[in-house]
Amino acid sequence: MSQKNILGIFSSIVLLLVLAVSVAEDKFKAFSFASSSPRVADMGLTKAIAKVSNTEEKIAFANNRFSFELFNYLFNPHQQRNIFISPTSIAIALTMTYNGANGETQSDMASALNLTDLSLKDINTSYQKLQQKWQKADSPVQLSIANSLWAKEGVPFKHKFLKNNREYYAAQITNLNFSNPGAKNIINSWIKEATQGKIERVINDITPEDVLLLINAIYFKGNWAKQFDRNLTTVESFYISEHFSKPHPLMSQTGKYRYLENDRFQAVSLPYEENQLSMYIFLPKERSDLATFAHELTLENWQQWSNQFHLTGGEIKIPRFQLEYEALLNQALTDLGMGIIFEDNQADFSAMTSQSVLIDRIKQKTLIEVNEEGTEAAGTTAIGITSTSLNLAQPFEMIVNRPFFFVIKDNQTSTILFMGSVVDPK
């Protein structure tokens, strides 16, 4: 521990990303925490983003690249572990914090978030517009985003930092006596309300060094555009590995779907009501596996695949599942280029407060439920590697009875909201 920390000179910022995803019957909950870390600029990405004319599209493009980079860091082919993250939730919280960064801290955050060619005003304005598009009041699919800043009483924060978060992110800003034992209960009550009661407790303690808690809460609830018939759900073998399987409920449906198949995987898009959101499921071929498929998960491939889906008739079987996931993201974000934000002798958040502060902890915990009524969806756009799809003259059959990857995408903006992989469905 540095001498500065021993003397208590540096105080800490905590970023908490709270995520709740729900099915039609309010059976789902999920939540997460997050913070930031450093990385080197990608010139190819900068040129690719420059070709996108609309600033909101540039933000979606940057978010999607960040999504795949983060997933690839978290995915471990040697661990039989399910993954579920909301990269958009992480990106929003980090961007709110970015408003308080200066110097090398600001440039490292911009690089890691793929925002190097965008001004702060453009970034903030675009996120404001994107959040408004994601949260359509008249949509049967409920996607709500809530942001809040909880500032330690007596610590001065810069007017512009607070103004930007209030104006562009609709953040609720509250000064709170952190030494009061009831402070965490006040914040947890806000989280419970923001997640429609799905998440009741996130904050277990507030340390003496904490000066700011920044929270982004995302709540999602939606029905499939075409719901699965519970009478057609059957218990079948799910092959967790080549040598191990277990009985598990598979939901079944026939119809016409946006479908893609090549020599490496099958993929299908399942829309939610009004087609605002979709879930994309990618199933590696039997002679392949999830680890091999993960090597192909890049923004460039994702966009190319997205353009190759065609409406095709067939039968699908997908597992009914609940998925819980928890990970500390400090190291992941450090490896992505944002490590400076955790360093007590380097972090520069002087645009936030005159007090010396750093990001202390970043954690994400999520839970999702997928059943016959609904869940959530994803998709995106990019440029990249050639992948030839198969010519399908006959109806397809896609039985998701082994490890698979999935994404939930906002179709209007092409933003990836959630992504994950299921190795062992529960």
CATH, residue 179: 3.30.497.10
164 and 297 belong to one structural domain = no
Mean pLDDT, residues 147-155 taken together: 90
Q: What is the pLDDT of residues 22-51, one digit of tens each?
A: 443 333 333 333 333 333 344 444 444 444
37 and 125 belong to one structural domain = yes
268 and 291 belong to one structural domain = yes
7 and 140 belong to one structural domain = yes
| pLDDT band with cut points at 50, 70 and 90 for residue 138 | low
Mean pLDDT, residues 241-270 taken together: 95
Report the chain's mean pLDDT, rounded to a whole number.
82
Q: What is the pLDDT of residues 362-380, one digit of tens each?
A: 777 676 788 888 553 222 1
- Helices 55-74 and 299-306: angle between axes, nearest 10 degrees: 120
- CATH code, 248: 2.30.39.10
Q: What is the pLDDT of residues 319-340, one digit of tens each?
A: 999 877 777 788 999 999 999 9
28 and 75 belong to one structural domain = yes
Count of structural domains within the chain: 2
pLDDT of residue 44: 46
The residues near 379 (Cβ < 8 Å, ≥ 6 apart) are 269, 278, 280, 306, 407, 409, 410, 411, 414, 416
Look at residue 108 and give its three-state secondary structure: helix
pLDDT of residue 206: 86
d(CA 146, CA 160): 20
| pLDDT band with cut points at 50, 70 and 90 for residue 177 | very high
Q: What is the pLDDT of residues 283-304, one digit of tens each?
A: 999 999 999 999 999 999 999 9
In this structure, which amino acid lies at residue 387?
S
d(CA 109, CA 91): 10
413 and 276 belong to one structural domain = yes
364 and 378 belong to one structural domain = no
176 and 298 belong to one structural domain = no
pLDDT of residue 382: 16
**Statement: residue 351 has pLDDT above 60:** yes
Owning domain of residue 160: 3-222+323-369
| pLDDT band with cut points at 50, 70 and 90 for residue 257 | very high
Of the spans 23-32, 238-247, 357-366, 385-394, which averages the highest pLDDT? 238-247
Backbone dihedral angles phi then psi of residue 185, each to the nearest 5 degrees: -70, -35
pLDDT of residue 258: 95
113 and 196 belong to one structural domain = yes
Mean pLDDT, residues 71-91 taken together: 89
Of residues 96 and 345, which shows the higher confidence score?
A: 96
Q: What is the pLDDT of residues 154-167, one digit of tens each?
A: 989 999 999 999 99
205 and 336 belong to one structural domain = yes
Percent of the chain with pLDDT over 90: 53
pLDDT of residue 39: 39
171 and 193 belong to one structural domain = yes
Q: What is the pLDDT of residues 193-236, one digit of tens each?
A: 887 777 777 788 888 888 998 888 877 778 899 999 999 999 99
185 and 268 belong to one structural domain = no
Mean pLDDT, residues 376-394 taken together: 31
The residues near 250 (Cβ < 8 Å, ≥ 6 apart) are 233, 234, 235, 236, 238, 317, 318, 319, 320, 399, 400, 401
pLDDT of residue 7: 33
d(CA 418, CA 84): 7
